[in-house]
Structures are given as C-alpha cells and as structure tokens.
Amino acid sequence: MGNLKIKNKIIILIILLSLALYLIKTDKPKGEKHIEKHTVEEPKVEDETKKVFTKEDPEYWIEKLENKDTVLMDREKIEEYNNKSFSKVDVLIDLWEHRPNIEKKDLISLVNSISTIPKEERYNKDGQIMDKNFYNLLLENLNLDSIKDTNTIQYGITVERTKFRTFPTYEPSYRKQGDTEFDRFQETGVYPLEPLIVYMESEDGEWYFARMYNYFGWIPKNKILLGEKEEIFKYINHEKFLVVIDRQITILDKLYDMGIRIPLKEEKENSYIILIPEKGEDNKFNLGEKEIPKSKGLNLGYLPYTKENIILQAFKFKDEAYGWGGLNNSRDCSAFIMDIYRSFGLKLPRNTQDQGPKSLGRGYDLKHTGTLEEKLEKLEQIPPVTVLYMPGHTMLYLGRDQGEHYIIHQFAGYYEENHGNLEYIPMMKTAITPITIKTSSGKTYLENVYLGKEFIIE
C-alpha cells in the first residue's frame, strides 16, 4: 500500500514537470492560442473624406461646367483669331507690318492723342495743384520740335517690367489729394520681352515714345534695348518657348507676369536653358543664354484654351492687390482679363472700352435690356466663363449658384445700402462677388452690363 502511494506521487510530479516544460517552450500566456508566425496584411481603408469646395475655390465652379475640357480654339485657330484681330480691330497693330517711316503730322497727332493736358485740377505727390508752369515743362519735354518731316522707326524690346506713361515723367497725377492708388499719368504696365516700335526720344533723353501691339505712350529708355527688326522678331517667334502660367514669378531677379512667352533653347531634367536679351555694344539687343530651375509657374507652350483653364487662371489672381494701369506690379480689371487670355496666346485690346466692343468673338447684347429682372433673365442665357462689360469695368462671369449669379473681377470697391444711404466698401483686389453688388448710382453691376463676350471665332 505504501509503495503504491509513493508511485502515484512520482507520476503526478512527472506530469507537473512535463506541463511546466511545455508552457516554457511555447512562450505563450495561458489561454492564448498559438499562431504560426507570418505577416498578415491589414485591409487598406481608403480615406473617403472628400474636400468640400466653396465659392472661393476654382474647382467649385469648374464642377458645374458642361464640356469643361472642350478646346474652344486650337493653336491654328488662335493664330487665325490674332491675325484677324490685327486686320479688323483698329487699336491692335501687327508691329511687323508697320511701315518703316512715319510722317511728321502723323507722329505729332499720335503723341497729342495721349499727351494732353487734363481739363480738371490735378495734384502732385505733395498734394499741390499742378499749375500751368508744370504742364509747360511737360509739353517741352515731348520734344515735338525735333520731329522731322519723315521719321524712320526703330525696333526694341523690353528687358524688365515697366510702364507706358501719359507724359515723359515719373511725376504722378492725382484727381484728389492723397488719392495715391490712382496715378492718372499711368497708362499701362508693360511686361518683359515685349517687342516695341520706337518713334522718338523725349527732350531730356530719358524716355522713348513707343508702341506695343495694343498700346502706346512714353516708356523709360533704360528698360529698352534697340535692335534690328529681323533679329528681334526671330527671337520673339522662336519655335520652342515657355509661358508663365502663375500670376507672377521671379526669373533672374526680374518679375514675369502671366502670359509672358520666353524663348527656350533646351529643356534639361531639372532646368531650362532660356534665351534672354542682354545689353551689347551701345546698349543694343544681344542674345544671351541663362539656365533656370524648372517651376510649376512655367509651361511648355501655351495652355489648352478650355473653360476649365480660364477659371483656373483667373483664380490665380484671387486676392491680388488692385493696380491701376499696372501700378505696384499688379493690374486693373481689363489687364486681369487680358492676362488670363494671354495664357492661351490670345491678343486682346488693353482698355475696357476697346476690349469689349471691338474684340472679335461671340457677343451677347445686354445694352437694350432694361430692368434688373430683364437682365437676370438675359443672363440665364449667357454661358458661364463669359467676359462681361459695363462702362469702365470688366469681369469674368462664373455662373449661377443658389439663385445668385457670381463674377470674379479686379476692382476698387462697391456700394451697399445702409439705412437708406449708399456706403462705399473698398476692396482694391481681385475677388468673387455677386453681380448684384451696387455702383455709386445705386444700380447693380448687372444693370450696367451692356455686353458679354466669348473670345471665339467659328
């Protein structure tokens, strides 16, 4: 009996030892199942969160478009559009076709058409009235007495962002004391690599009287390189080129605005070799090469001319400060429209009174539509991404949303009703607004719109 008890104890001890050894070898907590070691990929859960766009985003308006990717005109058709514009629009000129000489009476008439003494009082930068003595000095600097009976034109090209002025002077001219955002002697900004015809010099030798394809005026002489007609246009029409597609970029410490065409010699993996005008002997045009890094602000050739791209380009100017005539390295309402369409290679008139009525394209007449209700009904028939014109202003129509029609435009401000009075709301930037904001007369923008225009030829 005693031997049996000892034997049973030994058996139990052996079992306990065996169990302990098993648990140690498995290295698993009690109750956990043994799983073979291999990688199990967790199923990927895609982020279904979609960005919600607002009226402040271009995608919001693009999503509403039908045929957003349809090419409105291809390169060949755009070339035809520009050629027809040069032949039919009197404010546009094909510089290559300009006659080599200009007669004295024609040149004096051209200068006097822009360099005229204003009828209203004007103020200088110190708030003082511009008097007769001041204007006489400006008239003397026009250098009209130096004009010969027949004058040979010269060709030039801009080397950096500059401007056309009413008179050959940097002195600003304001309608109101301290109204420094509106220099009335500022005609328009002129961008780098713009070919010009040069007619004459100012008396002080600091300015050229010159013209580009859609404007003319007095331009600082030190921003221009003169050259032979053939070499300048060979450069401008270089087969390979880049186009600036951002609002503005800096290249070699100089500002380049949307739509500027930059001749390209070579594309490398991470850079471009571009062709740039440089000063040669006697400050004449000489061709140089510069290597610049690739940038999202540059595109090989013009962008496809689609409604989607028009909206994308327009929104790149959103919140840009207003710049009357290109002041402060910015732009005004008509330059805003002009620069958008430069991205596609279209050449448009500069000012609203010419850009709307005179440009070629598909027009929508709103001049003979009277009440706000009638205008709203007419607007329903106009497709989004149409440019709208009212006296002194232009804007890009975005479309209808929740019963309201919207525009994007570069503007100074608007008016709101406030306890029976009109209160001025300054903006001085590019913004998206309803087309029912008001002007100083109390009428809405829409009531003042007389024309819609799509820059398309059949």
Domain spans, the chain: 55-73+306-458, 91-237
Residue 275, both tokens: 């062709």
Give the model's pLDDT for residue 44: 53
| Residue 436 pLDDT class (50, 70, 90 cuts) | very high
Q: Do domains 55-73+306-458 and 91-237 have the same CATH topology?
A: no
**23-37, 175-189, 203-217, 391-405: least confidently modelled range:** 23-37
Question: What is residue 14's three-state secondary structure?
Answer: helix
Instruction: Considering only residues 413 and 5, tell me which one the structure prediction assigns the higher pLDDT.
Output: 413
Cα separation of 181 and 328, whole Å? 9
Closest CA to 172 of 350, 322, 325: 325
| Residue 182 pLDDT class (50, 70, 90 cuts) | very high
Question: What is residue 146's three-state secondary structure?
Answer: helix
Cα separation of 291 and 197, whole Å? 29
Q: What is the mean pLDDT of residues 364-375?
A: 88
For domain 91-237, give the fold: SH3 type barrels. (2.30.30)
pLDDT in tens, 385-401: 999 999 999 999 999 99
Chain CA centroid to CA 191, Å: 12
pTM: 0.88
| Residue 14 pLDDT class (50, 70, 90 cuts) | low
For residue 345, pLDDT over 60 is answered with yes
| Residue 12 pLDDT class (50, 70, 90 cuts) | low
Give the model's pLDDT for residue 303: 98
| Residue 331 pLDDT class (50, 70, 90 cuts) | very high
CATH classification of 55-73+306-458, choosing from 3.40.50.300, 3.10.20.740, 3.90.1720.10, 3.30.360.10?
3.90.1720.10
Cα separation of 173 and 325, whole Å? 13
